[in-house]
Amino acid sequence: MTPRIVGLETEYALMALPHGPAAPAMAPAEAITELFRGTATQHRSHNRFLPNGGRLYVDIGSHPEYATAECSNARDAALQDRAGELMLQKMLEAANERLDSHRLHLLKTNTDSGDATFGCHENYQVKRETLDPLDPGFVAFLVARTVLSAGGGLDKSGAYVLSPRAFHIHRVQSADPTRLRPMISTRDEPHADPAAFARLQVTFGDSTMSDRATEIRLRLTSTVLDLIEGGVSLCDLALADPIASLHDCSRHGPAAILALRSGGAVSAIDLLDTVVGRCEAAGIDSLLDIRDMIDRIQGGEQDTLSPSVDWICKKLLLTEAADRYGSSDPRIPRLNLAFHDLDPRRGLADRLRASGAMSALPLEDVERAVSTPPSDTRAALRGRFIAEATRLERAYSVSWTHIRLDSPPHPQIDLLNASQCSDSRVADLIDVMATTPAPPMSRLARLRAGIGPLHHAGEEPPANRP
């Protein structure tokens, strides 16, 4: 079976806290400017494709978002996601070294202390016919997988739930994920050959700090899509009310009882068990580790999964804190957010990873993914082109599906095959860049293109350059 192209888009909450009562409030736009100050995205725009094939940008609401490169497997996507986290962490540290009156915080979370919500969107390349119509049993699976993939947290009342994000979801499908917040976006943006492929965008899912949790969520969902595209129906598992079931699953956990459309009911963990059993019976993928996780939950041993399941890890931390300080202590909600804080001095994730209390991919692999795209997808072409154009200080344009050299102007090269990792046209264009002198550009043109230094060698930079 051809590897499925997958990717993640992760939104981050950005907060600016004053050092003292006399410090003025910092607007979200100001905080974003400080975060991006001094980076390659500062002057061109806060929207840039990167040499690792990913994309870093500012989303609606003045918060940063990182989209991974196209990946052929869940581990690469998890690596790419952590690479984005590491990039933003370094930007955060640099900003805080510059600032005197405020301290910035970046949270890889899906709700903040004001109950604003931030998305973690999953993208899966599927056959066009897979979405017309989408198997309702797949939606039931998305609800049930919450017991393994949720991030955990406190809801508006202070109660612990598997996914605070779940209560911001009120539709199964919609073309408007920003305002209506469905489980699945129906916008037709395949980022590939539209005659053959569609993009299934799951807009309900939690950002996870555990690398294994991220990898399992993507791998399991890809496997279930393989099952459906292989001709196995999950229609008998359709839920009577998917949104109500999603909310119940978040409130009550693995034992939540979900009503089926056909009559009867099933617990969330048993529904997930059934789906995984069908994948195993079809021989599509080895799911032994996920089978073991399900067995442990069914056997009442879910706490042993703490390093691999965010909501379990966080629940144990908050329970221990509540036992020590009392459940109404203000340190509890702060701890709830510190779990997601990228600040290495105030956040918990790096310390949990270092201690072994949270699963983590090898740091050297994450650092490599910051600058190196996956080698077996279209991202390799885009990343190499961007790296060379940046090194040679050439103006260029790229998207998920094209690259174009703008100095000197060359025809656009369309890349509609997301699994394509080599292309003679791209190789020839890179050779042209390397062997053809760059046309002269004014400093204003260089500024607009976002390339090179903002002043000539030997020249003092302009004073107070933003």
Residue pair 170/180 in contact by the 8 Å Cβ criterion: yes
| Catalytic annotation present for 206 | no
Query: How do residues 80-97 score in pLDDT, each as one tens digit?
Result: 999 999 999 999 999 999
- Residue 306's pLDDT is 98
In a shared domain, residues 161 and 284:
yes
Mean pLDDT score, 7-30? 89
Query: How do residues 198-216 score in pLDDT, each as one tens digit?
Result: 999 999 999 999 999 999 9
Residue 78 maps to a domain: no
Residue 323 maps to a domain: yes
- Residue 448's pLDDT is 61
Query: How do residues 228-283 score in pLDDT, each as one tens digit?
Result: 999 999 999 999 999 999 999 999 999 999 999 999 999 999 999 999 999 999 99
- Residue 290's pLDDT is 97
Q: Is the pLDDT of residue 151 over 70?
A: yes
- Residue 466's pLDDT is 31
In a shared domain, residues 335 and 437:
no
- Residue 177's pLDDT is 79
In a shared domain, residues 177 and 251:
yes
Which pair of tokens denotes residue 134? 């989408």
In a shared domain, residues 280 and 404:
no
Residue 42 maps to a domain: no
Among the options 59, 226, 285, 376, which is catalytic? 59
In a shared domain, residues 147 and 268:
yes
Q: Is the pLDDT of residue 457 over 50?
A: no
Residue 6 maps to a domain: no
Q: How many CB atoms lie within 10 A of CB 396?
A: 22
Three-state DSSP class for residue 248? helix
- Residue 464's pLDDT is 34
- Residue 454's pLDDT is 38
Q: Could you tell me the residue range of the domain that residue 409 belongs to? A: 378-449
Q: Is the pLDDT of residue 99 over 70?
A: yes
CA-CA distance, 86 to 426, in Å (whole number)? 29
> Of 339, 362, 394, which closes a domain?
339
CA-CA distance, 453 to 194, in Å (whole number)? 40
Ranking 47-51, 341-345, 405-409, 460-464 by mean pLDDT, the lowest is 460-464
In a shared domain, residues 251 and 304:
yes
CA-CA distance, 131 to 197, in Å (whole number)? 10
Task: State the pLDDT confidence band at 440, using cuts at 50, 70 and 90.
Answer: confident
Residue 345 maps to a domain: no
Q: How many CB atoms lie within 10 A of CB 87?
A: 20
The total number of residues written for the chain in this structure: 466
Residue 29 maps to a domain: no
In a shared domain, residues 333 and 387:
no
Task: State the pLDDT confidence band at 69, using cuts at 50, 70 and 90.
Answer: very high
Query: How do residues 387-405 score in pLDDT, each as one tens digit?
Result: 999 999 898 999 999 999 9
Task: State the pLDDT confidence band at 47, using cuts at 50, 70 and 90.
Answer: confident
CA-CA distance, 215 to 457, in Å (whole number)? 46
> Average pLDDT, whole number, for the chain?
91
Mean pLDDT score, 384-388? 96
Return the percent helix, strand and coil in the chain, to nearest 5.
40, 15, 40
Count up the domains in the chain and report the number.
Answer: 2
In a shared domain, residues 311 and 436:
no
Give start and end residues of each alpha helix (H) in 299-435: 310-325, 331-338, 349-355, 363-371, 379-391, 424-435
In a shared domain, residues 382 and 297:
no
Q: Is the pLDDT of residue 446 over 80?
A: no
Q: Is the pLDDT of residue 165 over 90?
A: yes
Task: State the pLDDT confidence band at 43, using cuts at 50, 70 and 90.
Answer: very low
Residue 293 maps to a domain: yes
- Residue 115's pLDDT is 74
Task: State the pLDDT confidence band at 439, using cuts at 50, 70 and 90.
Answer: confident
In a shared domain, residues 250 and 399:
no
- Residue 449's pLDDT is 62
- Residue 444's pLDDT is 63
The enclosing H or E element of 416 equals none
> Of 321, 339, 357, which closes a domain?
339
In a shared domain, residues 155 and 263:
yes
Using a pLDDT cut of 90, give the percent of the chain over it: 78
- Residue 387's pLDDT is 95
Q: Is the pLDDT of residue 117 over 90?
A: no
Residue 283 maps to a domain: yes
In a shared domain, residues 330 and 398:
no
Residue 397 to residues 230, 275, 407, Cα–Cα distance (Å): 38, 43, 10
Task: State the pLDDT confidence band at 173, using cuts at 50, 70 and 90.
Answer: very high
Residue pair 65/10 in contact by the 8 Å Cβ criterion: yes
Q: Is the pLDDT of residue 112 over 80?
A: no
Half-sphere exposure of 448 (CA within 13 A, CB side): 6
> Of 284, 311, 339, which closes a domain?
339
